[in-house]
Structure 1
């Protein structure tokens, strides 16, 4: 089967772009979490059941975290990480969070950071980019 080098080049370029987006998203996530851990304000947050959350759903929605900022504003944000078996985050529990004083909607839950997902995005995106660029180089040399 004869494959057009131009078609392969276009598909490889699209895949490389997708890989680049994954690398950028993972890098941004790690950078934001690191920044909030470094400069964020520590407060205790109350875990609340999400509105409309039914307990027998196959994948329960993420709970809400309610906390008071330094300027005495009450904030409610969706928990940035999913509950785990080790830390189920039941309604009424209290957790330590760090929030960005410039944007209190940006929070990091202490001891529940899942940097693995961001690292997986970076690694997966890099692999896709590498394979795409290799495919692109092979297609261009076979012209």
Structure 2
């Protein structure tokens, strides 16, 4: 009975991770399908906490604030929703920027990890791994 309960919990977590991964990948692909490229500069790095406090210190994600000119010449400063640890770029770095022409404040650094597709792939892979573990727990009695 405990195996089945553990298997169900793992299945729920795996399906949730899989769904989140696919949602992140779809959003990243939608953004990339309309994004316009520009050259910009990282003008700041905002620190965002991830999860609950951990000892000796909580985990952080560094979100870049970018300054660039749109194709029309408008100067824009905006924070990317995609960051990392370590930071995806340092303050003062010149970077390629992708932005949504309908909303130029919707920006990403133009790198594989900056697009958000890598995070989606990782969540999807983790979801699949947890689902496989759930099957293993129920079928073979592992754990």
Fold conserved (TM > 0.5)?
Answer: yes
Deviations 1:93-142, CA, capped at 9 Å, x for gaps: 22112123455454332134364443232122112112213433567xxx
Secondary structure of the corresponding residue to residue 62 of structure 2: coil
How far is the alpha carbon of 1:19 from its aligned partner?
0.8
Indicate the residue corresponding to 1:77 in structure 2.
79
Partner of 1:48: 43
Q: 1:16 aligns with which of 11, 14, 17?
A: 11
Q: 1:27 Cα shift?
A: 1.7
Task: Tell me what 1:119 maps to.
Answer: 121
Q: Cα offset for 1:11?
A: 2.2
**Structure with the higher strand share, 1 or 2:** 2
Tell me the equivalent position of 2:52.
Answer: none
Query: Which ranges of structure 2 fall in alignment gaps of 5 or more residues?
Result: 48-58
1:65 Cα deviation after fit: 1.5
Gaps of 5+ in 1: 53-57
TM-score by length of 1: 0.65
Conserved? CA contact 1:36–1:108, under 8 Å: no
How big is the shift at 1:60? 7.8
Q: Which residue of 2 aligns with 1:55?
A: none
**RMSD between superposed Cα atoms in Å:** 3.4
Count of aligned pairs: 127
TM superposition score normalised by structure 2: 0.65
Q: Is 1:32 aligned to residue 27 of structure 2?
A: yes
